Amino acid sequence: MEVVNVGLGERSYSIYIDRGLLLECGNKLPSLFSPPYKGGVSGGVGRKAVIITNPLIRGLYGNLLENSLKEEGFKVHFIEIPDGEGYKTLETAVKIYDRLIAIKMERESPLIALGGGVIGDITGFVAATYLRGVPYIQAPTTLLAQVDSSIGGKTAVNHPKGKNLIGAFYQPKAVFIDIETLNTLPKEEILCGAAEIIKYGIIRDGDFFEFLENNIERLINLNEDVLIYSIKRSCEIKADVVSKDEKESGLRAILNFGHTIGHALESLTGYKKYRHGEAVAIGMVYAARLSLKLGLCSSEDYKRVVNLITIAGLPTEIPPHPPLRPPLPLLQKEGIKGRSKGGRGGFVDAIINSLYLDKKVKEEKIRFVLMKGIGSVELRSDISNELIRKVLTH
């Protein structure tokens, strides 16, 4: 088993990575608490544990996790929410609170998020707010959740006006990454995780990027050694960044490489055309192109990024005739006003407009994460709309 520590003082926790780890959850749980749970079997007896999941994942892995908890004496409850980003809402959170109140869930008992990033984000949000905070465990079952969303304590639900607008920073007690769960994950979802893994190489570790260049096909085909190493290295990089800047006052923003344009693409297409990782893949290509135009990276580095994303099987370009979702509350920025039209030109304008609606805009300046070669990035807020337009239309 691999273990990565997230160092955050008294809120520190471990990320465990192995095959078959869901079976170990029960016996690991009691020792995660301070003071550790005491009493029957290993401390679980008489204690409740609530697994939050969706029907699909419950059908695949619910029994495994439930049995592992029951063996340690935990009284297990399931709360199921419907599958999909559309249910990551306050309304769903309220339904979860209702159930927690109905089963008299008390402050010391854990919630366990069994699923992808949607389940992880909403469970973390409920954990942060129910009874002013209860412990929670992440048991991520998508590659994206295993290398990104389950780590670092960003919890959230969506608001009709935007993704993740309501949330809190609230760290889990532990993350249990069972790579066995990836065997049932559709290929497209594996690719989304791969996009975030590639991101870690670009932002922080040139050697890891090179490892991925040599092993991307093995990673996507779930070769055990490559998978475990890639998940571990990604977790180490995220843990290091989060432990230095938990609440994103600076450094943590580098984790958003590719996300600025990626988020705009997702939002403008109503979250229907692209999965998150696909939009991030395209966003990384444009961020790399912007870096090239600004002379921050060489054309060879730019080509390596495009090549790795391409051989991974991820998209690299916005399509010529992208579908727009119904009009956004567009900000009328200088140079954009009145320019929205159909086709790619209109879409590029809409992307630039949408960039100003991002949570990460500060004092009306769009913040880009740009690459300085491979393995290092910098934050820039001085990029003109003209240059963004040029890069998007090249």
The binding site for ligand NAD (CB under 6 A) comprises 54, 56-57, 60, 83, 85, 88, 115-119, 121, 141-142, 144-145, 148-149, 152, 154, 163-164, 181, 184-185, 189, 192, 276
Contacting ligand GLY within 130-149 (CB under 6 A): 148
The residues pairing with 370 across neighbouring beta strands, listed in sequence order, are 378
Residue 154 annotated to the active site: yes
- Partner from ligand GLY, ligand NAD, none binding residue 252, C-beta < 5-8 Å depending on class: ligand GLY
Closest CB to ligand NAD among residues 42, 171: 171
Query: Which token pair is 80?
Result: 């199921």
Tell me the C-alpha distance between 96 and 364, whole Å: 37
**Contact between 88 and ligand GLY per CB under 6 A:** no
10 neighbors 2 (Cβ within 8 angstroms): no
Phi-psi region of 282 (alpha: psi -120 to 50; beta: other; left: phi over 0): alpha
Which residue among 163, 233, 276, 389 is the active-site one?
Answer: 276
139 three-state secondary structure = strand
Query: Which token pair is 214?
Result: 């040599």
Closest CB to ligand NAD among residues 266, 349: 266
Residue 48 annotated to the active site: no
Which 8-state DSSP code applies to residue 254? G
21 neighbors 228 (Cβ within 8 angstroms): no
Q: Residue 84 Cβ, how far from ligand GLY at the closest point, in Å?
A: 20
151 neighbors 238 (Cβ within 8 angstroms): yes
Closest CB to ligand NAD among residues 117, 258: 117
Residue 196 annotated to the active site: yes
- Nearest residue to ligand NAD by CB is 117
Q: Residue 295 Cβ, how far from ligand NAD at the closest point, in Å?
A: 31
Residue 158 annotated to the active site: no
Q: Residue 280 Cβ, how far from ligand NAD at the closest point, in Å?
A: 9
Binding test (CB under 6 A) with ligand GLY, winner from 28, 252, 293, 367: 252
Closest CB to ligand NAD among residues 54, 291: 54
Taking each helix axis from N to C end, the angle separating 276-293 and 385-393, rounded to the nearest 10 degrees, works out to 110
Which 8-state DSSP code applies to residue 132? G
Distance of CA 52 to the CA centre of its chain: 18
Residue 276 annotated to the active site: yes
Query: Which token pair is 3?
Result: 């273990």
**Contact between 115 and ligand GLY per CB under 6 A:** no
**Contact between 152 and ligand GLY per CB under 6 A:** yes
Query: Which token pair is 112?
Result: 């366990």
Which residue among 48, 163, 173, 238 is the active-site one?
Answer: 238
Which residue among 11, 95, 232, 252 is the active-site one?
Answer: 252
CB atoms within 10 A of CB 333: 15
Contact letters (x/-) for ligand GLY, 254-273, by CB under 6 A? -x------------------
Which residue among 47, 58, 173, 263 is the active-site one?
Answer: 263
**CA angle centred on 309, ends 305 and 315, rounded to 5°:** 125
Query: Which token pair is 169?
Result: 């920073």
Closest CB to ligand NAD among residues 149, 291: 149
106 three-state secondary structure = coil
Q: Residue 83 Cβ, how far from ligand NAD at the closest point, in Å?
A: 4
Residue 303 annotated to the active site: no
Residue 159 annotated to the active site: no
Tell me the C-alpha distance between 340 and 363, whole Å: 24
**Among all residues, which ones are annotated catalytic?**
132, 154, 196, 238, 248, 252, 256, 259, 263, 276
